Amino acid sequence: MKHLTKALGLGLAAAATFAACAAAATLTIGSTTLSAGNASVTACTSSLSATRNVDNSGNVTQVNVAGIPTACSGETLSVTLVGSGNAALGSGSGTVGSCGTTCSVTITSFGATVSASNVTGYSFGLTGA
Amino acid sequence: MRRLRLTPRRVAVVLAATVGIGAGVAYAATLTVGSWHLWAGSQTLTKGTCTLTGTTQTSDTYVTQATPGGTNGSATTMLVRSNSGSVDWSFVSFNLSSCSLPTTGGADTATLTLFITTAPASNRTLSLTPVLTTWSPTTLTWTAAQSLTYGSSATTSFTTGTTNNVSRSATLTVDVDALIKNPSASFGWRINDTTGSGNATTTFATSENVNAGRRPQLVINYEK
């Protein structure tokens, strides 16, 4: 019985060691997502800019993001229309398709009617494998 | 109860199983970390207002069906009339270059203001239709205006009322937004009477009008 107890104890110690490794990896995932400069996570671009179209009432009908590097192909682009005080006026997303020299994404739905007069900027997010 | 005997082989099996489970978890987690691209950024817009008026920034004229070869580029007023056989159309365009807007900018709002010097006897509805091909106020005739290309539909319309010496405004945001993005297509608008039947003339001040406050004016609230 003593031998069995020792063996189980050894096994549990080994499991704990590997579980700790897994936990550390999980922690790394979470912290890398939220911190810049971690070598484990790379970005396919360093900047983006958008243009938008309006209807005759001055409401945004679409946002166009061009000049996206081909390295971002297949990734998901999220765009938020930002207003005064960094308020989110609306947001939408699209997939960066396969493309030639550079890619573009056009987003036409923002979950709300947004007056262009109220838009002071855009926030972008790119995620993908 | 049967006692479980500890043998070196059993210990090795327990250890191998434990190592396998732990390594599997760690490997999956590592794969997830390495396979994701993440990027976040922002862009701040600059807002402003640009007002266009006067002869250096405005081109306007009118053409008359009754005189199909005539030009009116230097007239101080321009006419819009709906009357069979003697229709009048007015044309107005603006040079956006003085606003110094990049093609990545856009119009938040754009409002055209026209001054009616002589109103029609009855209220009329006038439409503004984008012109898609080039014209010059010094050479445009009724005949030439028939060969211009126009938008498939009017952008907007407004009513004249029956009072002289009043301003009327029309919203042209969608057209001006497109012109900012493609300045080479800035050919302005045709103004015509779309009320239907009847003989009524609306007279507007042009950019040559001596009273600067009565000249056509385009106010653009923009972003860039």
Per domain, the residue ranges of chain B are 47-223
If asked whether residues A63 and A30 sit together in one domain, one would say no
Q: What is the pLDDT of residue B3?
A: 57
Rank A33-37, A40-44, B37-41 by mean pLDDT and report only the highest: B37-41
**Confidence band, pLDDT 50/70/90 cuts, at residue A70:** very high
**Taking Cα atoms as reference points, which of A117, A102, A96, A101 lies closest to residue A52?**
A117
**A36 and A53 together in one domain:** no
Interface probe for A, chosen from B42, B158, B169, B171 (most Cβ of A below 10 Å), is B42
Residue A123 shares a structural domain with residue A86: yes
CB contact under 8 A, A18 and B21: yes
Q: Show the tokens assigned to A46.
A: 């360093």
Question: Would an 8 Å CB–CB cutoff place B169 in contact with chain A?
Answer: no
Q: Are residues A111 and A60 in the same domain?
A: yes
Token readout for A34 is 């939220």
How much is the ipTM here?
0.79
Same domain, A57 and A101: yes
Same domain? A22 vs A58: no
Task: Give me the sign of the Cα torsion angle B84, B85, B86, B91.
Answer: positive
Interface test with B, best of A56, A86, A119 (most B CBs within 10 A): A56
Residue in the structure block whose two tokens are 């309006």 = A54
Range of the domain at A70: 49-127
Q: Is the pTM of this model over 0.95?
A: no
Query: Is residue A37 domain-shared with residue A53, that is, in the same domain?
Result: no
Q: Residue B208's pLDDT is what? A: 96
What is the pLDDT at residue B108? 98
Answer for the pair A50, B43: CB distance below 8 angstroms, yes or no: yes
Q: At what angle do helices B8-35 and A2-34 cross, to 10 degrees?
A: 0
Is the Cβ pair B45, A26 closer than 8 Å? no
Residue A42 is predicted with a pLDDT of 77
Is the pLDDT higher at A52 or at A23?
Answer: A52
Q: Are residues A30 and A83 in the same domain?
A: no
Domain at A98, CATH number: 2.60.40
- In chain A, the number of structural domains is 2
A97/B contact by beta carbon, under 8 A: no
Residue A25: the pLDDT is 41
For residue B37, the model assigns a pLDDT of: 80
For B24, phi then psi, to 5°, come to: -60, -45
Quick one: pLDDT band at residue A20, thresholds 50, 70, 90?
A: very low
Res B24: pLDDT: 43
Give the number of residues written for chain B. Answer: 224
Task: Report CB contact under 8 Å: A21, B26.
Answer: yes
What pLDDT score does A103 carry?
A: 93
Mean pLDDT, chain B, integer: 89
Query: Does residue A23 or residue B146 have the better pLDDT?
Result: B146
Between chain A and chain B, the number of residue pairs with CB atoms below 8 A apart is 153
With an 8 Å Cβ cutoff, are A124 and B35 in contact? no
Low-confidence ranges of chain B (pLDDT < 70): 1-6, 8-35
Beta strand B88-94 with B106-118: parallel, antiparallel or unpaired? unpaired
